[in-house]
Structure formats: structure tokens, C-alpha cells
Amino acid sequence: MNDFFQFVTEEQRCALLAKAKRVAISALQQYNLRWVEIEYIGISDTITYRVRTSLDKTYLLRIHSDQRCSHEIDLELQFLDALITAGIKVPTGITTPSGLRWLKIGTEDGFTSTHITVMKWVEGVHAHEALTEDQAYQVGVLIARLHEAALGFESSSDFRRPVWGMNSYREALAKLERYAGTFLSEVSWSLYQLAAEKVISQLDHMKADDYNYGLIHADLHLGNVVFEGEVPHPIDFGRCGYGFFLYDLAAVMLSLVPYQRFKVLQGYESIRSLESDYFQSLECFFIMIMMENYSHHASNPRETESIKGEQIYALAYIHEYLHGRPFLLNVVEPIEIDDAPISS
């Protein structure tokens, strides 16, 4: 997760999105798409729009920050092609009439985030936390299929993608420390630091091999899964990179309750087995991703109150983790350590 598209005031946000829409319209002209509606979706690592055309087709247009190089985009598109070949329904990039799979567009007003991709839209609905047991099971099946396809994936070029592990986690912690005072007390932050030390220690002892490590989605929360009935489809592969496969499993579990997590694991193991000692590593990734999420969102003042409200649950998980008690498949009661912010 990067923070290239940053803004401080609402006026800056509106100015940024006005520039972005002009870039989007320019790109659609080069893709020769006759649009009838451009709907803004959101802003994070990319600025995204849903585009409907006169032919009643729907596309996803993404404006990438210039921190993301074309090689990274190329590998993502190649990986998505491989997933389609493996029978997994995912967004796939379309080409311009001249055969380009991405564009780089400059603007007169200095808008620098100029890599553009247009993807076929994947239809479906978000289940959010209200997964049925079968849907949770099928999510596990889906993740296992993604990892099986990743094992057989070979890029046509020596393209690089992000690596989600020790270094990326340390970067997230450095940012989290800068913003911890907006939502944590000194006591709570000290628990976060202890948990971070334990995560780093566990990461340092993990051994990557061809079975447990490879290309992962790396942002597989429920917002990036849509359902056609009971069948899940993954979307938004913008963060895909290299990491432990358990990272994807842990990411989807953050917003699930214990019985749903259990069904996810059952579904996963119906396709590919997990290592005998996987559970402690899975809980390590759960805590790691939870902290990375707060690191990503803590700089946005619009989300401060929501993050504060979640700490009774986050701290409960951290408390169990530090005491070495399994928590993913158990109901963990929320706790309050001290709700006075560091900066007060």
C-alpha cells in the first residue's frame, strides 16, 4: 500500500479527482470506448472508475501512481491471463486498437499519475461479513486455486513485483508509529510494539519454499471478493506480489468470525494441504496484516474515529497473541486498555 494519492483538505481532494476524471476521459478515447457513464469508485493505491459504454458493457478504469512502473503492471496483467486460463474468473485487461495493454497519459496541469489500465468488469455482489458457511468454504477453495495457479505461473519476462514480508512490514510499522498517537494510548501502543517484535521474530524464522511461497493476491479482504450466488470471484490484483500463501488466507479472515474462518480453512485444504505447523504462522500474518491496515488508513483523518472504535477488538487479538493463546478459531472478547490518545 502506498500513499501517493494524498490530500490534506477537501479542496485538494476535489482538485485531484477533477484532474483524474480528465485523464480517464482521455484514456477512454484512446481505448475507443464510447462511454455513457463514468462512476467514481474510490482512491487508494489507484483512482478507480466504473465505466459503462453505449454497447451496455462495463469496465474498470484504474489510474496508477507514477510510483508503479509499467513492468509491475505488465506482470499483473500476465498473471490475470494465467488465472483465466486456469478457469478462475478475474478482471482482465483490454487493449487499445493499437495493441497497448496500458497507457501513459500526460496532462497540462501537472497530473503525474499517468499509467492507465482498463479491465473487464467482474459482475457479482459483496457479501461483506454476512457469508454463509458454503460461501466461506468456497472462499477457501478459491484461495487454494489461486495459489495452485501461482505455482505454475511463469512470466514471459523478468518483471518484478512487490515482496510482502519483513521489509514491507517494517515500512508499515514506521508509518504506523508516526500516526499511532491519533488513535492509540501510550499503553496500547506499547502492546502494538511488543506484538510487532514477535511478528518480526516469527517472520525471521519462516522458511520459504516452492510450496508455501509465490505470487499472492496480497489484498484479499472481503471487499475484493464478489459473489455470483455461492461462487466467489477475486478482484483488484493491484497489490499482487510475492509472499507466503498464508498471507492471503490471513487477510480474508480479518473480517470473519471463528466459524467462518474454520470453513475457509476447510475449503482451502480440500484443494491443497497446509503444513502441519501452519497455525501459529497464520495468526502471525493476521496480526501483521491488521497492523499494516491501520498503518495504511491512519493517515486519513476521515477514518480516525472508525479506527479508534476498532481498538477494543484489535487489542484483544494482540493480547491473546502476546500470551501465546490461539485466537483465530475462538471467540475473543473485546477489551479496553486505555482509550486516552498518546497526543493528549
pLDDT one-digit tens code per residue, 300-341: 888 999 999 999 999 999 999 999 999 999 999 998 776 544
Candidate from 1-5, 127-131, 169-173, 335-339 with smallest mean pLDDT: 1-5
Print burial letters for 112-137: b (CB count within 10 Å at least 16), e (below 16): ebbbbbbbbbbebeebeeebeeebbb
What's the alpha-carbon Rg for the chain, to the nearest Å? 20
Residue 39, strand partner residues: 50
Beta bridge partners of 71: none
Instruction: Report the 10 Å Cβ neighbour count for 44.
Output: 20
pLDDT surpasses 50 at 1: no
DSSP 3: -
Model pLDDT for residues 179-195, shown as the tens digit of each residue? 999 999 999 999 999 99
How confident is the model over 234-254, as a mean pLDDT? Answer: 95
115-120/46-53 β-pairing = unpaired
Quote the CA–CA distance of 119 and 49 in Å, as a whole number.
10
Closest CA to 212 of 240, 241, 242, 244: 244
Is residue 39 scored above 50 in pLDDT?
yes
**How far are the Cα atoms of 78, 148, 154, 242, 322 from residue 273, in angstroms, in the given order?**
26, 11, 23, 20, 27
Pairing of the two strands 213-216 and 225-228: unpaired
- The answer to whether the beta carbons of residues 64 and 46 sit under 8 Å apart is yes
Question: How would you class 220 by CB atoms within 10 Å of its CB: exposed for 0-12, middle for 13-18, buried for 19 or more?
Answer: buried
Pair 218, 189: CB distance under 8 Å: no
Q: Which residue type is seen at 278?
A: Y
* pLDDT above 70 (res 130): yes
CA distance 254 to 221: 7
Per-residue pLDDT, averaged over 98-119, amounts to 79
Decide which of 118 and 44 is more confident: 118
Work out the pLDDT band at 7, boundaries 50, 70, 90: low
Give residue 5's pLDDT band: very low, low, confident or very high (50, 70, 90).
low
Residues 7, 13, 18: CA angle, nearest 5 degrees: 135
Picking from 105, 120, 2, 113, the residue whose alpha carbon sits closest to that of residue 50 is 120
β-partners of residue 104 are 115
- Whether 176 contacts 298, CB under 8 Å: yes
State pLDDT tens for residues 11-36. 877 888 888 898 999 999 999 999 99
pLDDT tens digits along 203-232: 999 999 999 999 999 999 999 999 998 999
Q: Please state the φ and ψ torsions of residue 135, each to the nearest 5 degrees.
A: -65, -40
What's the whole-number average pLDDT of the chain? 90
Cα angle for residues 172, 244, 311 (degrees, 5° grid)? 40
How high is the pLDDT of residue 70? Answer: 80
The count of residues in the chain is: 344
Assess whether pLDDT exceeds 60 at residue 97. Answer: yes
Asked whether the beta carbons of 224 and 198 are under 8 A apart, the reply is no
> pLDDT digits over 148-172, tens only?
999 988 776 665 778 999 999 999 9
- Helices within the chain (DSSP H only): 10-30, 70-85, 133-151, 166-179, 186-205, 245-253, 258-269, 278-297, 304-322
Q: For residue 99, with 0-12 CB atoms within 10 Å meaning exposed, 13-18 middle and 19 or more buried, which class applies?
A: exposed
pLDDT above 70: percentage of residues in the chain: 91
- What is the predicted pLDDT for the residue at 129? 73
Grid cell digits, residue 340: 486516552
Q: Which three cell numbers mark 245?
A: 500463501
